[in-house]
Amino acid sequence: MHISTNPGIWCQAICTLAVLTYLYKDNPIWRTVESIYLGLATAYWFVYYFWSFIKPAVMDWVLVQHQWHYILAIIMGLLIFFRYVPSLSWIARYPMSYWVGYGAGYVLAYQPAVWLQQITDSFRALNTLANVLIFIGILCTLAYFFFTLAKENPVVGGIAEVGKWYIMVALGSAFGNTVLYRWNLFLGRANMLIGQWLGFNI
């Protein structure tokens, strides 16, 4: 065992242990570290985005490279801050509308091709057990979401029940994978505490 003398590692270890105290119960130590993290993260990203994108856009692209069309984009971005002026908050709707419209248009242009291939792939030859199960699963799961059909009907109700079981299996799979993912993150922290901080060779 060789405890680290690196202040960065000690900081990591103290913050990690402080956050893990929440597993026992809510306490001031965890709240303090949570607030420190939120403050640091906000400050970090503010500084990062300013120096990485805002400053180059204004100082380099416009003033040095004379790409004057960026002025329009900068003005549009600044108009959003009118949200903080109640009497003029309607001005902020213009850049927001442009932003939402551009985003929606862009998604509608490119996403359907992805979905269509998924739909095409669902039409499979029923020559293997897996393909038969996929076919049944798609139909029954879709039937579960047909809320306009009376589930009291034994045929419709039965098909929807099968669909419900497919959904439960899918959700169970998602849950299991999520649990393992969270434990893997904790394992990373455990490796840091035991390996880097306490200096054990694991």
Tell the smallest beta-carbon distance from residue 170 to other proteins (Å): 7
Q: Considering the rule CB under 8 A, would residue 121 count as an interface residue with other proteins?
A: yes
Binding test (CB under 8 A) with other proteins, winner from 53, 81, 94, 145 = 53
Reading phi first (left if > 0) and then psi (alpha if -120 to 50, else beta), residue 140 is in: alpha
Which residue, 48 or 145, is less far from other proteins as judged by CB? 48
What distance in Å separates the CA atoms of residue 60 and residue 21, rounded to the nearest whole number?
A: 47
CA-nearest of 190, 88, 8, 89 to 200 is: 190
Binding test (CB under 8 A) with other proteins, winner from 110, 125, 129, 152 = 110
CA-based diameter of the chain, in Å? 73
What distance in Å separates the CA atoms of residue 190 and residue 79, rounded to the nearest whole number?
A: 47
Choose the binding region for other proteins from 2-10, 28-36, 48-56, 75-83 (rule: CB under 8 A): 48-56
Indicate the burial class of 143 (C-beta count within 10 angstroms; 0-12, 13-18, 19 or more): buried
Binding test (CB under 8 A) with other proteins, winner from 42, 89, 97, 173 = 173
Binding residues for other proteins, rule: CB under 8 A, are: 23-24, 45, 48, 52-53, 103, 106, 110-111, 113-114, 117-118, 120-121, 170, 173-174, 176-181, 183-188, 190-191, 194, 200, 202
